[in-house]
Amino acid sequence: MSSAESSNQQSFLQRISAPSFFLLSLLLVPAGTFVCVTVVVIVCVIVGVENSDIQVRITLAALLIGFVG
């Protein structure tokens, strides 16, 4: 492989990696948030948290973890 071919292939990978990462992150952030909220809701039901104020606070914390994670 000549240096021109390897340079061309490297620049192609650099051009394609940024949009791919952006699209992947657009899919992963909502998926992670959904998983976190679903797990928290299931845990709240299993543990038996009946206070709605605590449920809201726990769910908001899960949303933040999902967005940050």
What is the domain partition of the chain in residue ranges? 3-68
Tell me the backbone φ, ψ of residue 49, rounded to 5 degrees: -70, 115
| Alpha helix positions (H), 3-51 | 3-47
Q: How confident is the model over 17-66, as pLDDT tens digits?
A: 677 777 887 888 888 888 888 888 888 888 887 788 888 888 888 888 77
Q: What was the pLDDT predicted at 8?
A: 54
Average pLDDT over residues 6-25: 68
Q: What was the pLDDT predicted at 13?
A: 63
Q: What was the pLDDT predicted at 49?
A: 77
Average pLDDT over residues 3-16: 61
Tell me the backbone φ, ψ of residue 59, rounded to 5 degrees: -65, -40
Tell me the backbone φ, ψ of residue 2, rounded to 5 degrees: -80, 165
Q: What was the pLDDT predicted at 16?
A: 66
